[in-house]
Amino acid sequence: MKCKRCKAPAVVALPSHHAGFCPDCYKIFFARQVERAIHGQRLFSHEDRILVALSGGKDSLALMLELGRQGYDVTGLHVDLAIPDSSAAARAVVEGFCAEHGFALRVVELEREGLAIPLVKARLKRPICSACGKIKRYFFNKVALDEGFTVLATGHNLDDEVARLFANTLRWDRAYLADQGPLLPPENGFARKVKPLYRLSEFETANYAFLMGIDYHTAPCPYSTGASFTGHKKLWADLEHRSPGQKLAFYELFLKQGREAFAAQERRVGAAVAPCPECGYPTSAEICGVCRVRRALAGEGGGPGVGGDLDDRDD
């Protein structure tokens, strides 16, 4: 197979783009997809201060590197979950990556916050991942707002977004469908959130990470239950294999033709958001999910109900 752009031997074949690319042209392809997402969806500009959530996985590191190459003002944020045999390795990958590329990095240590995930897990009756996700999002938002970042970027790729959209669609979850997308505007006290890799599949970010020599964290979290979306990802892989390009079309057409209908209805009947009386974080519940986790850890009341807040609106 030959490179579509320069006819050198291809190293990446992309059925969805009817193309193969050599290493150099692949990097150009990848950069253009990111640019197209940023400009097409008006995600941010070179004036913005961008906080990039870095888990240590390929997607977040690929995002950080590419935004840096495009000259954006980026700072990394890693949340150290304090999970034995896992968090230290992920953190080391992130720290090594940022040191190598000269990126500024903030680290939030949940241990210090009294919210070490093993501790939370021991006290909660429900599966840990929902609370863990909530705590991570809480600190992403909080650091962004406290330190004056104008944008919070995450490495969600097309497969993540399609799996999530599909799950929301199966439930016709109006509130989630109303604001799923690569851009959530800054409202209700939340930082503006963006997903600049939304046009790129997991396969595409993996190829980019490989070709850029990014050394990423792959060991699964010991608490992972095998990810709820994995079944949907498999289904979509088969659909995409049969008609390449369908995944991106499903998502783009939702943005163009589907989302506004849900958003309009949500504006009429959606839940109101107010600052949490304990920490000031925006919430649609009486107190925010993280304060409920803190209360549970302090032994007040039963297990916290950690669903239903609008701060769930993004994973």
Partner 1 sequence: MATVPNAAPNAVGTAAAGRDDRPAPPPVVVRLQPEGETRTFDRVNTALQLLNRLGLLPTMALVIRNGGLLTPDVRIRPGDELEVRRVTSSG
Residues that bind ligand SF4 (CB under 6 A): 81, 117, 128-129, 132-133, 221, 223-224
208 near partner 1 (CB under 8 A) = no
Binder of residue 282, out of partner 1, Zn ion, ligand SF4, none (CB less than 5 to 8 A by kind): none
Nearer to ligand SF4, 9 or 231 (CB): 231
20 near partner 1 (CB under 8 A) = yes
Cα(20)–Cα(13) distance, rounded to whole angstroms? 4
Closest distance of CB 210 from partner 1, Å? 6
Torsion 193-82-279-310 (CA) sign: positive
- Given a contact cutoff of 8 angstroms between Cβ atoms, the answer to whether 177 and 268 are in contact is no
Nearer to partner 1, 40 or 231 (CB): 231
Burial of 152 (0-12, 13-18, 19+ CB in 10 A): buried
Closest distance of CB 129 from ligand SF4, Å? 3
Binder of residue 278, out of ligand SF4, partner 1, Zn ion, none (CB less than 5 to 8 A by kind): Zn ion
φ, ψ (nearest 5 deg) of residue 153: -110, 140
Nearer to ligand SF4, 120 or 248 (CB): 120
Query: Binding partner 1 by CB under 8 A: which of 73, 80, 161, 240?
Result: 240
279 near Zn ion (CB under 5 A) = yes
285 near Zn ion (CB under 5 A) = no
Query: Binding partner 1 by CB under 8 A: which of 31, 89, 237, 287?
Result: 237
175 near partner 1 (CB under 8 A) = no
Binder of residue 230, out of Zn ion, partner 1, ligand SF4, none (CB less than 5 to 8 A by kind): partner 1
Closest distance of CB 203 from partner 1, Å? 4
202 near Zn ion (CB under 5 A) = no
12 near Zn ion (CB under 5 A) = no
Residue burial 191-222, b: 16+ Cβ < 10 Å; e: rest: bbbbbbbbbbbbbbbbbbbbbbebebbeeebe
Give the CA angle between residues 288, 175, 162 to the nearest 5°: 110
Of 167, 136, 312, 165, the residue nearest 253 (C-alpha): 165
Nearer to partner 1, 136 or 192 (CB): 136
Q: Return the range that interacts with partner 1 (CB under 8 A); candidates 102-110, 172-180, 195-203, 255-263.
A: 195-203
Nearer to ligand SF4, 126 or 241 (CB): 126
Nearer to Zn ion, 15 or 84 (CB): 15
53 near Zn ion (CB under 5 A) = no
Cα 27–chain centre separation: 22
The two structure tokens encoding residue 10? 């291809």
Nearer to ligand SF4, 9 or 127 (CB): 127
Q: Integer distance in angstroms from the first to the last C-alpha of the chain?
A: 38
Binding site for Zn ion (CB under 5 A): 3, 5-6, 8, 22, 25, 276, 278-279, 281, 288, 291
